[in-house]
Structure 1
Amino acid sequence: MTPQEYDSMTEEERTAHDAAARKREAEEQAALPYKWRQTLVDVDVSVKVPKGTRSSDLIVEYKRKSLKVGLKGQPFIIEGALVKDILVDDSTWTLDNQEEINIHLEKAKGTEWWECVIDGHPKIDTTKIVPENSKLSDLDGETRGMVEKMMFDQRQKAAGKPSSDDIKKAEAFEKFKKMHPEMDFSKAKMG
């Protein structure tokens, strides 16, 4: 569905469409062999393994663009290209209670939401992400403003609309045109 088709729906149609999309998304995510969550700066992945598993029984490899997780001598539970790059030196993993691998991946570009962890796996709709208010309110004013601007720009991009920077440029250009009516702007291009 295009953003224009979505925008032309009634409020009831949008609510029904969003509910169906959330349900499908939840089912797809539940079918993955891992659970994951994210903030703007990191992704946490958890993988269940048989009770009594020791770290020496595991293979956990993460590189800038890939992730492999599994038990030695068995097919990998997770294996593939990461959807975005990570900072390898800032990423870690632990084995908790001998039954769950927890992998902390630091995003190389900590200013965007990931649609999925592994390329080709079911995606989530990042335009519907609402950061926890307590976390957003914990940020200082400048950082919070930057995050809110990024969220606005991401929604605008998803809807095929101009970013906040594009809007500011257009407003500045209009103001300049009004200040200089003697100039011909018919061939001016915004870029």
Structure 2
Amino acid sequence: MSLSSEEYNKLSTEERETYDTAERQREREEQATLPYRWAQQLQDVDILIPVPQGTRARDLAITIAKKKLSVGLKNQEPIMAGELCQDIKVEESTWTLEDQQTVQVHLEKVNKQQWWANVLTHHPKLDTTKITPENSKLSDLDGETRGMVEKMMFDNQQKQLGKPTSDEIKKMEALKKFQAMHPEMDFSKAKIS
């Protein structure tokens, strides 16, 4: 039984914990009925599909499209097939056959800021608000994101020490340059905001 966010917010802390535990168990049971296992990061989804022992790559029929996925054996009903819940980057998505018994499908997400509730739209959904991402390292981030995070960390540290933030330092440096270029002007009442 799914609760609306309004109903959920009315629960006590203990009731929420009981509800969340029951929901996680229900999700685990639903996911266990799927013919595959899957995991995700913000940027990608990995799917493991068991196939009969001794399967060769040439025996497989696999289609990876921007919004569709089909995995199965040739001339048989697909093991999994349908519409993906989100778009993927087809050119960066791949599949491999491991130990002649497991197909591993790697899907690269288009939207790298969104968790998937399910792989195929007709399969049971997860509550994405309860996903706890693994801690990432600064070195895992792309250059622009890493720069932004480092700037935020520096500014936070500066504020805690009562020192100027990076933006305030830039403004003070610009004012110093301007003062050096215009020594005839009085800057004693200049304010940086």
State the TM-score, normalizing by the size of structure 1: 0.72
Amino acid at match of 1:130: T
- Alignment deviations for residues 151-180 of structure 1 (CA, whole Å, 9 cap, x no partner): xxxxxxxxxxxxxxxxxxxxxxxxxxxxxx
Amino acid at match of 1:116: N
- Cα–Cα, structure 1 residues 128 and 73, in superposed 2: closer, same or farther, change >3 Å? same
Shift of 1:143: 3.3
Amino acid at match of 2:33: A
- Alignment deviations for residues 57-91 of structure 1 (CA, whole Å, 9 cap, x no partner): 00111100000000011110011000000000000
- The equivalent position to 2:116 in structure 1, one of 114, 119, 122, is 114
Q: Structure 2: how far apart are the matches of 1:126 and 1:97?
A: 32
SS at match of 2:93: strand
* Structure 1 or 2: more strand by fraction: 1
Shift of 1:138: 5.2
Q: Structure 1: how far apart are the matches of 2:36 and 2:116?
A: 16
SS at match of 1:59: strand
Structure 2 equivalent of residue 100 of structure 1? 102
Q: Structure 1: how far apart are the matches of 2:92 and 2:138?
A: 25
Structure 1 equivalent of residue 78 of structure 2? 76
Structure 1 equivalent of residue 36 of structure 2? 34
What count of residue pairs does the alignment treat as equivalent?
A: 145
Q: Which structure: larger Rg?
A: 2
SS at match of 2:31: helix
- The equivalent position to 2:134 in structure 1, one of 116, 126, 132, is 132
Q: Structure 2: how far apart are the matches of 1:57 and 1:39?
A: 30
Matched, 1:44 2:35: no
- The equivalent position to 1:123 in structure 2, one of 125, 144, 149, is 125
Q: Structure 2: how far apart are the matches of 1:142 and 1:16?
A: 41
Structure 2 equivalent of residue 18 of structure 1? 20
Q: Structure 2: how far apart are the matches of 1:120 and 1:72?
A: 23
Structure 2's unaligned 5+ residue stretches are 150-193
Amino acid at match of 2:130: K
Structure 1 equivalent of residue 172 of structure 2? none
Residue range with higher mean Cα deviation, 50-59 or 136-145: 136-145
Q: Structure 1: how far apart are the matches of 2:16 and 2:138?
A: 29
Shift of 1:93: 0.4
Q: Structure 1: how far apart are the matches of 2:145 and 2:130?
A: 21
Structure 2 equivalent of residue 8 of structure 1? 10
Amino acid at match of 1:23: Q
SS at match of 2:19: helix
SS at match of 2:100: coil
SS at match of 1:89: helix
Q: Structure 1: how far apart are the matches of 2:101 and 2:76?
A: 16
Runs of 4 or more, structure 1, over 3 Å off, are 136-146
Structure 2 equivalent of residue 58 of structure 1? 60
SS at match of 2:91: strand
